[in-house]
Amino acid sequence: MSTPQPCHVVYCEGWEGEPGRVVGVLDATTARGRDAAGTQYAVLVRDAAGAPLVLLEIAWAHGHCGVWLFDAAGARRTHHRYTRQEDGGLALTYSRRWADPSSEEAASGRVPLLRSVEVLGGNWSVYREDFAGGGHTSSHQWLEEDLAALTTLPAPGFGRWEELVALHPGLSDAGVQLRDADAVPDRDAVPAPWAPPGPLAPLGVDGLFRPGRRYRGARDRRPGTVEVHDAGTLVLPTGRVLLRNPQGLGFAGPEQALTVPLPVGEHPVRVSVLRQTGPDGESAVVAGLRVDVADLVGVPVDAWEMALRPGESLEELREGRFHGVDVDRDSGLVGVCDAACLPHLVEVLTDPDTHPDLVIGYTPREREALADRERELREAAQAFLDAPGTVTGQEFAEAISPSLEQELEFRQSVYVLSRLAHGIVHTEDPGPARFAEPGERARDAGPWTRTLSEPVTGGNLVTAFVGDGVSTCPVWLGRAADGRVAALLVDTLAVDRPAQC
């Protein structure tokens, strides 16, 4: 018979994935009291050397018990979610397993980055597999054998964690011998880095705007570093904030403004970007757009809450859902303005000839493409001037437009190409074309944002590129310790943050 492995138990608020550490150490008496009251707490089980093995997240008032399993590198790769039943047992409701995003198999798409299972009842379930690059598959099927054996467990009494700890594959055979670790409780209270099931919670929102903070991308799980960039100013004549897909501003009304206003005035805007590196080079994904109330810049946000419009409530939301702002499918943009500006903005935004330049501008990806295009044109034009002929002419024509290539047999086309080549080689890039008024009021406020002033009310529209493939973003209101609104934040959900289980 195998000798039980000695393991140490640390009671705490939870686990912070990046940089990987315990948050808010509790003494056993406090944790026991929370267990009896149903209040959330966490249990970290680690080996004798201090390596994390299992993390339990418990909130009996919500009937919740989450089980995280760590791999040999100390990363959480498996999560099982159990719900306490009326008979006192635990029933498996969800299971998720992540592959190592740095592995060749996951990066190439041969294995899924994330495999999720929702247990519907009677071992009938929904399997979903998410792959690198954004593809996914889903199917309804019977639970596979490995999970079918874990569907029901007895709910543990406080301190009796052995059966849940045995879910770790390295501990299932030998068993464990648990004892409380010699951990000193933290004197200052810290917020828990997780939340029990319910509407989406603003977990880790503050960290999105802390430069240098490390996160993984929510879609590809690649690590990255937070950058924070100034992005202009939002001018609010009345403080009634309207968030909208810019393409749909013409269908919006002032009654759709947020129920909680921001102070009247000019408020600084910032963009959070997660800068990632990988085999394909460097990339950046927008993590959030934040408006800080001018008079409270530098005042810490004490608590975040979901921003709501008239008629919306948290009670109507299902688990993990949220009210938020729709993102333009084609451009990846969201817009924010004062509701008083709406009638005057609609007048100029309904013109399809000027609308794109006013609110879209050029995204970072488009700017890179324009720079590549300019380089290609210059190289092809110079090659044609150095050695005019059919081959160089065809290459130059192709660089300008594929349709011109078919016309090279005409002497006039060669003459046109010569004139174009001289113009490209001997002039500077004039930059993207701009429209006349009201386009003169539209300005890039940074690589990811653009502003359009509205002279009638004195306000403006700020549009931000939040990413391709993003459909809806939650919006959070941040309050200072005295209850005043200090910030508004559009969350793209692009980074992997603390878990809401």
- Sequence spans of domains, the chain: 5-180, 206-362+437-496, 367-425
Residue 269 contacts by C-beta under 8 Å, 6 or more apart in sequence? 230, 231, 232, 233, 234, 289, 290, 291, 292, 445, 449, 462
Closest CA to 241 of 314, 313, 340: 340
- Beta carbons of 84 and 46 less than 8 angstroms apart: no
Q: Is cis: bond before 199, omega within 30 of 0?
A: no
State the Cα–Cα distance between residues 161 and 369, nearest whole angstrom: 56
- Beta carbons of 152 and 88 less than 8 angstroms apart: no
Can you give the pLDDT at residue 442?
A: 61
Can you give the pLDDT at residue 408?
A: 44
- Does residue 448 sit in helix, strand or coil? coil
Q: 400: part of which helix (H) or strand (E)?
A: helix 390-400
Show the CA angle centred on residue 271, arms to residues 349 and 266, nearest 5°: 65
Can you give the pLDDT at residue 92?
A: 94
Can you give the pLDDT at residue 388?
A: 82
Q: Which amino acid is at 208?
A: L
Can you give the pLDDT at residue 362?
A: 57
pLDDT along the chain (501 residues), means of 10: 84 87 95 96 95 96 94 92 90 92 76 90 90 84 92 94 93 83 89 88 90 85 89 95 86 90 96 84 88 95 95 84 86 90 78 54 63 80 84 81 50 59 72 47 71 88 83 94 96 77 47
Q: Are strands 124-130 and 64-70 parallel, antiparallel or unpaired?
A: unpaired
State the Cα–Cα distance between residues 397 and 386, nearest whole angstrom: 15
- Beta carbons of 137 and 126 less than 8 angstroms apart: no
Ramachandran assignment for 68, one of left (phi > 0), alpha (psi -120 to 50 degrees), beta (any other): beta
State the Cα–Cα distance between residues 108 and 115, nearest whole angstrom: 16
Can you give the pLDDT at residue 465?
A: 86
